[in-house]
Amino acid sequence: MARGKAVEQEDDSRLRLDKWLWAARFFKTRALSHEAIELGRIEVNGERVKASRVVREGDVLDMKIQQLPWRVTVLQLSGQRRPAREAQLMYVEDAEIKAAREEKMLLLKAEHASFPHGEGRPTKRSRREIDKFRGT
């Protein structure tokens, strides 16, 4: 019998949703994927679920990640986090939702570019002018 922490042998046919989302690289940590599920940002086959739900091949996931919509169909199950190119083979994206997401990303970029940005921290002279204007 080995000493120390027991090693978990996870069966790939029974994989938690939060672990799959982490392994598929939708979230940086399992805690973030768990939180998104608990906040209702992830739906499986149109239903709100818990993080411990077992994900299966063929499940359709509707997600809202950073205000951007995602709809993916699970193709493979893996609890091991792999490089991004391999992780993208675990699912297939819905083409319409992908186009809508890219359009929204371009809109957000254009909106951000039109925001007035300050010139940074005020100089000593401009600070004195601000104070003089405020009357302090």
- Count CB-CB contacts under 10 A for residue 73: 13
Which is more confident, 14 or 20? 20
Q: Is the pTM of this model over 0.75?
A: no
**Average pLDDT of the residues in 1-7:** 46
Supply angle C-alpha 90, 50, 24, rounded to 5.
20
Please give the mean pLDDT across all residues of the chain.
Answer: 88
pLDDT digits (tens, 9 = 90+) for 22-77: 999 999 999 999 999 999 999 999 999 999 999 999 999 999 999 899 999 999 99
DSSP 3-state of 98: helix
Cα 27 to Cα 35: distance, rounded to the nearest angstrom: 10
CA-based R_g, the chain, Å: 23
**Do residues 53 and 44 touch, judged by C-beta distance below 8 A?**
yes
**Average pLDDT of the residues in 88-100:** 94
CATH of domain 15-112: 3.10.290.10
